[in-house]
């Protein structure tokens, strides 16, 4: 999450706490606070969604890494066995070439599926050479495990990305509502300098902060003196 968005969401929570501590009796003001409460609740929901997505993504990454290693080992076995079988059956030569083990995931899966299909067709020649009766089901299972882990990883990553977009939208909505409270409290605390100062401290988004991937941010301004 960008620092600018994080600061605005944090400010919304602080503003809501201030409003709960200093309740207004004005119906309009109360309605605006209710809107902010709903937004902060949505922020909490998105935080949970993002956290679950991140956890799922990390777990699936480890799972896929393990599945890829198992798949690569199965393919190495097939290549070696095919090389041995080709000594008795020259037509097998060159049919089972190793994939690029460091290549992209889609490439290694596609290669594995093609080798599985070919090995299934020629299993009568490969099994006696050392392939083993359980090899083909094991290879199919390792392909399936790799693909399932990839799907889980993609889903977790998608939830994470969608949460980022939600945070940006919520930050904008929170800023709008807090801006309304800013003018309402400027009037409400016009004759109470201490509460007005406290409100300004809570309302202010400290900055500007910049990062390489962010443009300079102008802090959300406070009302000028006398407003």
Distances, alpha carbon 59 to alpha carbons 54, 68, 70, 208, in Å: 9, 14, 17, 36
Tokens read off for 83: 């090389």
Query: What pLDDT score was predicted for residue 30?
Result: 94
Q: Estimate the share of the chain in helix, then strand, then coil, as percent rounded to the nearest 5.
A: 75, 0, 25
Task: Kindly report, residue by residue over 121-165, the tens digit of the pLDDT.
Answer: 999 999 989 888 899 999 999 999 999 999 988 888 888 788 888
Give 4: exposed, middle or buried? Use CB within 10 Å, 0-12, 13-18, 19+. Answer: buried
- Residue pair 24/30 in contact (Cβ under 8 Å)? The answer is yes
pTM of the model as a whole: 0.62
Report the C-alpha gap between 225 and 89 in whole angstroms: 92
């Amino acid at each position: 999450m960008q620092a600018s968005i994080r600061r605005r969401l944090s400010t919304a929570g602080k503003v809501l706490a201030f409003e709960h501590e200093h309740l207004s009796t004005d119906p309009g003001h109360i309605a605006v606070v209710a809107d902010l409460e709903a937004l902060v609740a949505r922020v909490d929901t998105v935080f949970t969604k993002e956290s679950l997505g991140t956890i799922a993504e990390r777990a699936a990454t480890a799972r896929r890494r393990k599945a890829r290693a198992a798949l690569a080992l199965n393919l190495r076995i097939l290549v070696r066995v095919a090389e041995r079988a080709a000594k008795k059956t020259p037509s097998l030569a060159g049919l089972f070439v190793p994939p690029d083990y460091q290549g992209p995931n889609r490439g290694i899966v596609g290669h594995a599926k093609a080798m599985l299909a070919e090995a299934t067709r020629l299993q009568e020649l490969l099994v006696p050479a050392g392939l083993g009766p359980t090899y083909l089901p094991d290879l199919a299972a390792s392909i399936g495990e790799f693909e399932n882990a990839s799907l889980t990883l993609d889903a977790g990553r998608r939830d994470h990305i969608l949460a980022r977009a939600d945070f940006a939208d919520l930050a904008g909505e929170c800023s709008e509502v807090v801006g309304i409270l800013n003018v309402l409290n400027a009037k409400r605390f016009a004759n109470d300098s201490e509460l007005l100062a406290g409100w300004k401290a809570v309302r202010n988004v400290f900055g500007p902060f910049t990062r390489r991937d962010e443009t300079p941010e102008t802090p959300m301004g406070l009302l000028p003196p006398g407003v």
